[in-house]
A and B are shown apart, each in its own frame.
Chain A
């Protein structure tokens, strides 16, 4: 069945460091791909998305490119801030129906 695999956390970085969180997926067809972020004590918020191969999603300085050839959707940010500390979830959804399939989440901690 379909699945999403993320790099394990927690990831600890210093402020202004470069961030990469790896995400790979297994799915039939051409799913849409998402990154959600969960700040402490809150629900999930959509961070960015891409709906077809080679699309780049971006928001708040974060970027991810839909790579069909490597079945990946890695999240990157050039300079992280303490306020980026959160749990990040990669997810996929087939265009038929609305069910999301999530990875296990990666906790990011950014130190001043």
Chain B
């Protein structure tokens, strides 16, 4: 299994509070992604990173920001959480050095509830 951890694994917070989710990898993969999983929608890409300090938006980026200051860490921040951001969040990685971006490996997920 790819070495990907997410923290926290579960979080309950209140509307309007800031929340930061962390993804940590030990695989030295170049690409990192944040997805959210909601019933009936599969997984939808929020943001992704193709290197340190290089990030771009996905299809559902509104209300989220990301940062990647080190290869191994990719942070997802909800500046002011809303109930519509209640979801399960997955981090993924791809592209070991010198290889293609073909396969993505997923972390265990973070279940976030916004009350």
Contacts and interface: CB of A to CB of B under 8 A. Distances in A.
A55 B48 CA distance: 29
A94 B104 CA distance: 13
Contact of B43 (A51, A89, A93, A97): A89
Interface residues of A, number: 21
Interface string A44-62: 1110010100000000000
Contacts of B90: 43-44
For this complex, into which size category does the number of interface residues on chain B fall?
A: 20 to 34
B109 A89 contact: no
Contacts of B33: 98-100
Interface string B1-39: 000100000000000000000000000000101000000
Contacts of A34: 103
Contacts of A89: 42-43
Contacts of A102: 42-44
Nearest to B106: A43
Contacts of B50: 98
Contacts of B52: none
A51 B103 CA distance: 11
A93 B106 CA distance: 16
A48 B55 CA distance: 28
Nearest to B50: A98
Contact of B108 (A36, A43, A93, A99): A43
Sorted nearest first, the 3 A-B pairs with minimum C-beta distance are: A98-B101, A43-B106, A102-B42
